[in-house]
Structure 1
């Protein structure tokens, strides 16, 4: 009899594991996502303008591409009063139908590409998007940077033996406070500022937590940044380092500089001080980039 009770008990335990738990997920209105990081290579004639647009979806689903009614980049140098005496424009069009990738319109009556010579310190770029009867606005100033002095592989470890260390060396510009964003590939970014090494040469280590194979080539880039873009990337990195899982409460909503200005008649309040829930996700930035390649030993 005892054996029968044990068997029945075990059966109940294992069958109970098959119960399906239905979780009521909140229904949220899709939100526009703008990936507008434009990297400027001064050795090229034109800026590689590629802006990806997606929409947020429900939990556990990919964010699908979306189409804008219009997308335009305006750029120029403001005067001492912050006003533009003249602006140049680049009209964007979807590169391929359904991709959500917007590039200078090749079918426009004139060349819509932006020359790299237009990206100079003080140049302000403005992105304007019309999407699902809403208007979005983002403004950024071109951010130059310094080249990478040296990139080499190290042999230290941080947590485990599978890590790969790379050592990056740069020389900071002493003329003003600088902010940097490093792209280590594989979706890995790192924000850095010069508060402790202003005007000096500085070297730091970055550890890849996935094991890299000998002979594998990696590409490391340094990007210019202002303080807002630096803080945005820093918060993104902090969020992605959170191992609490999809149900973990996030540290903060990572909001960028793309604002919903629908119905506003005063562009001076485009930052939505009185409309905290009206915004898009993502960021628009125009930054100088220097890159180096390294072959893993």
Structure 2
């Protein structure tokens, strides 16, 4: 009997000792890349002259370094029709700003960034956006007919392809939520769009209630940017049963000197309408 007890104790010792072994897992890391956040958004009713472009470098997933702003770069945007150049001044914190930008609807613009002796470029067209006609609340259009949602109404222009980006952010939330839409099946019709929040304890998300305030932005975007942002939104929502496997997502910023060393991010030029809604 003692022999059996000795064997059992020895086996337990081996098992628990093995549980303490440290397993090193090699995590793949991508090369450090320049990241360009160049969203030139012209809000209706404003001059649109104040614009900011942010430059940083990518970091490994587990890197805790938050100071990745790029300084010393050269940044400018050019009107491709009349050649007007808008120089973005280095603010020495990763931001480059101008107070002279001139937004023109349906105009093509080219971004040029020179960093570490390499030239990055991207071209986009400033797309118009329609006005929001009405904002209401209901419980009728969402997935759950017992919780509040905000409803946005606008008229889609007829006989043309239009692409939209919605940005919703409840007052007090850290991050905004984005949704994309194209008018392939609703061309020329009134569009009704809703946004609701379902309770989720894991993310501390709560349903809308009376008194909640949500900011709403509606952007007119190009087809190229629509294709990009659609994939980005899908990947940001995680991989589900029927989701595509996330892949490296390339924007429109090309390195003219070394094609393989492309930049992350996207250069977009959009018109946007903004409104705010308070739930009753």
TM-score (norm 1): 0.77
User: Which residue of the partner structure matches residue 251 of structure 1?
Assistant: 246
- Please tell me whether the aligned partners of residues 39 and 47 of structure 1 are also in contact (alpha carbons under 8 angstroms): no
Given the superposition, is the C-alpha separation of residues 204 and 213 from structure 1 closer, same or farther in structure 2, using an over 3 Å criterion? Answer: closer
CA distance in structure 2 between the aligned counterparts of 1:254 and 1:154, rounded to whole angstroms? 37
Deviation at 1:21, TM superposition (A): 2.1
Structure 1 stretches of 5 or more lacking a match? 78-85, 105-111, 264-274
Q: Write out per-residue CA displacement over residues 238-294 of structure 1, whole angstroms, 9 at most, x where no aligned residue.
A: 1112247xxx9943321111110127xxxxxxxxxxx4x331111111100001212
Structure 2 stretches of 5 or more lacking a match? 170-174, 199-204
Deviation at 1:88, TM superposition (A): 0.8
Matched, 1:285 2:280: no
User: Which residue of the partner structure matches residue 119 of structure 1?
Assistant: 104
- Please tell me whether the aligned partners of residues 41 and 48 of structure 2 are also in contact (alpha carbons under 8 angstroms): no
CA distance in structure 2 between the aligned counterparts of 1:9 and 1:213, rounded to whole angstroms? 56
- Please tell me whether the aligned partners of residues 197 and 208 of structure 2 are also in contact (alpha carbons under 8 angstroms): no
Q: When the two structures are aligned, how many residues end up with a matched partner?
A: 261
Deviation at 1:8, TM superposition (A): 6.0
Deviation at 1:15, TM superposition (A): 4.9
Query: RMSD value over aligned CA atoms?
Result: 2.8
- Written as runs of structure 1 = structure 2, the 5 A alignment for 1:1-297 is 13-61=15-63, 64-77=68-81, 86-95=82-91, 97=92, 99-104=93-98, 113-115=100-102, 118-121=103-106, 123-155=107-139, 158=143, 165-185=149-169, 186-209=175-198, 210-212=205-207, 214=209, 215-243=211-239, 250-262=245-257, 275=259, 277-297=260-280
CA distance in structure 1 between the aligned counterparts of 2:183 and 2:244, rounded to whole angstroms? 32
Deviation at 1:205, TM superposition (A): 2.5
- Please tell me whether the aligned partners of residues 190 and 237 of structure 1 are also in contact (alpha carbons under 8 angstroms): yes
Q: Write out per-residue CA displacement over residues 139-195 of structure 1, whole angstroms, 9 at most, x where no aligned residue.
A: 11111111222223332553798x753322221011411111111132311111111
